[in-house]
Amino acid sequence: MPSPAAIPEPIETPVLRFAAHNFEPLPSGALYWRTRQTLLVADLHFEKMASFARRGQMLPPYDTAMTLARLETDLRRTGATRLIALGDSFHRPDSAALLTPADRMRLDAITEAVECIWLSGNHDPMPHAIGGTCLPELELDGLVLTHEPRKGQTGLVAGHLHPAARLAMDGRTTRKPCFVHDNRLLILPAYGSSTGALNILSSAFFGLFNWSALEVVMLGRDRTYPVPVKRLVGG
């Protein structure tokens, strides 16, 4: 992985203002916290396809390599010196042992180049044997970084639900992963290349947000886009 000390390539992206902090939502699904030189990602699900293969579902086992390539690019372009993964970094507690030698070398290069903090999730609740620090959750500058969203706490940044927005406009609909927040709770989209996404109008999100304050930022091919909540549709 190129050194994060290298001059980063410029990124043009809108600012996501949450709990008095400015973040940059990237089209990869990562969230860059520029003032802390920190890259936040959720739900990497490394070795998901390898886990399926062990159960007899022979799917192409390239998801980890694709996710690592995306992560290397984001670290290089932002110049981040810290990576915080919000849980479910591995698809199973034993998935770290399934890494190919090449993928393990790439992941080791990341953990050696930047500070890595791995928060536990429901898929990978136990510490894993890779570089960095494993924590259940993290409090940082008035924010609580964790895996599963919960109500009643201001400044909570989470993953777990793999949010997506379906937007209706001019007689057509578009469905993409998204960032969603109400200035109390912020949920990141899943970052892993083999992960699905769940419409934020589905029942899994009921009761989590103050919908009158909701802001949604949808992932695009080369940038992210704030979208009007009134244009959201189910499905």
* Average pLDDT of span 11-35: 92
pLDDT beyond 50 at 3: no
- 179 in a structural domain: yes
Cα gap 187→163, rounded to integer Å: 7
Residue 59: per-residue pLDDT: 52
Domain assignment present for residue 2? The answer is no
81: CATH: 3.60.21
**Hey, what are 100's tokens?**
């190919």
**pLDDT computed for residue 7 by the predictor:** 41
Q: Report the pLDDT value the prediction gives residue 80, as an integer from 0 to 100.
A: 98
Note the pLDDT tens digit of each residue in 192-233.
987 889 999 999 999 999 999 999 999 999 999 999 999 999
pLDDT, tens digit, 9 for 90 and up, residues 106-162: 999 999 999 999 999 987 877 787 899 999 999 999 999 999 999 989 999 999 999
Look at the chain and report how many structural domains it folds into: 1
Q: Which of 3-17, 66-80, 91-105, 114-128 has the highest mean pLDDT?
A: 66-80
Residue 192's domain comprises 16-231
Give the max Cα distance, the chain: 50
- Lookup result for tokens 């062990």: 54
For residue 4, is it within any domain? no
pLDDT of residue 8: 44
